[in-house]
Amino acid sequence: MVFTAILVAVIACGIPTSYAMDYEILFSDETMNYADAGTYCQSRGMALVSSAMRDSTMVKAILAFTEVKGHDYWVGADNLQDGAYNFLWNDGVSLPTDSDLWSPNEPSNPQSWQLCVQIWSKYNLLDDVGCGGARRVICEKELDD
């Protein structure tokens, strides 16, 4: 499912579709680990979703879609750089530990083995997890004006 999936979610939420035009979003049906998720997106000329997760309109649309699907999805954020409670989006922007995007009581183990970030189906918000598990993937591509 590519861009049309996000437009359905955008329309269902009553969010103007013009905002969705800034990004092409792909939701995979395949599951894979975090490293393979990055490669999967790159092979399609995309990246794991990160900047769209900082756009309030896009976040609503993405989370509306993932809530309906009921699966866990990798996003482009991790704590792999130094493992010291410093989560970063893959484009280098900080993901604060007090962000409203985190599930309740998350991140829970940022200084241990839970170094990667998923959208957790339990709360439909972010969760720090081990990088080796199999999850679906959300890729993004910013579109030129």
The CATH number that applies at residue 20 is: 3.10.100.10
Bridge-based pairing of strands 47-48 and 23-27 is unpaired
Length of the chain: 145
Number of domains observed in the structure of the chain: 1
User: What integer pLDDT is reported at residue 85 of this predicted model?
Assistant: 73
The helix (H) or strand (E) run that includes residue 117 is strand 116-120
What is residue 93's predicted lDDT score, i.e. its pLDDT? Answer: 95
Give me the pLDDT at residue 12, please: 44
What pLDDT was estimated at residue 83? Answer: 60
H or E element at residue 27: strand 23-27
pTM of structure: 0.84
Rg (C-alpha) for the chain, rounded Å, is 14
pLDDT tens, residue order, the chain (145 aa) = 444 444 444 434 443 333 355 888 999 999 999 999 999 999 999 999 999 999 888 999 999 989 988 999 999 999 988 766 789 999 999 999 999 999 999 998 756 788 999 999 999 999 999 999 999 999 999 887 6
Domain range for residue 22?
Answer: 3-142
